[in-house]
Amino acid sequence: MSELKKIRETKNLTQEELAEKSGISVRTIQRIEAGTIPKGYTLKTLAKSLEVPEKDLLISEMIKEEITVDEVVLVTEKENDSPFNFSLIKIINLSSLPLAWLPIANFLPPLLIMLFTKEKSYIVKQIISLQIFVAIISPIIFMIIVLLKLGRESVMVTMIFLILANVYIILRNAYEIDKRRSLRYRLNFNII
C-alpha cells in the first residue's frame, strides 16, 4: 500500500475529497496510490493538503530501495563466500598442455573438466575462453602463412611458434594461479 493511501485513509478522506482539497486530479492521486512516485509540485501540494512532511509520502519507496540494495549486497557476499579451488583451477589450466600441439582441440580437456567438476568460476571461464581464442586464431595465422607461399620452412616455423606460444601461455598462467591467484594472460571478454 502506498504512503499516500495510508495517510489519506488515516485522515478519513476519499480520493475525491483529497483531489478537491489539493487541486490535484483524482486520476493523478490514483496513479500515485498505484505506485507512481509523486514529484515536484504534486508532492508539495499533497504534503501541504494532508499536513505531513513531503518525505512521509515517499518513505515506503525509500525503504524498498534500501531493501533491494541490501539484498543485492547479500547475494554478492554469499557468492564470494565460497573460495575458489585453485588447485582444481590449475589442473583445468594445465589440462590444455597435452593437446597444445593441436590448437583446434586444446580447449576440450579444460571444458570437459569444468563440466564434470561444475567449477564454473570466472577464472575457469577465462582459461577456456583464452584456449578457444587460440584455437580460432592459430589456424587463421597458419593459413595466412600458407597462402603467402613463403615456403615450407616458414610454415614449420609458424607451426612451432604457435605451439610454443600456447604452451608458454598455459605454463605462465599456471604459475600466476599458483603465486597470485589470478591469470597473467586473459581476455577482456568471455567466449563461454
Quote the CA–CA distance of 50 and 8 in Å, as a whole number. 7
- All three cell numbers of 160, joined, read 612451432
pLDDT along the chain (192 residues), means of 10: 82 89 90 84 88 78 46 43 73 88 85 88 88 90 88 89 92 89 83 80
- State how far Cα 72 lies from the chain centre: 12
Quote the CA–CA distance of 132 and 73 in Å, as a whole number. 33
* Helices 3-10 & 26-34 angle (0-180, nearest 10): 120
Decide if 46 contacts 38 (C-beta within 8 A). yes
From-to residues of CATH 1.10.260.40 in the chain: 3-81
Quote the CA–CA distance of 12 and 21 in Å, as a whole number. 13
pLDDT digits (tens, 9 = 90+) for 121-153: 888 889 989 899 988 998 899 889 889 988 888
pTM: 0.54
- Please report which helix (H) or strand (E) contains residue 136, including its range: helix 122-147
> Which CATH code for domain 3-81?
1.10.260.40
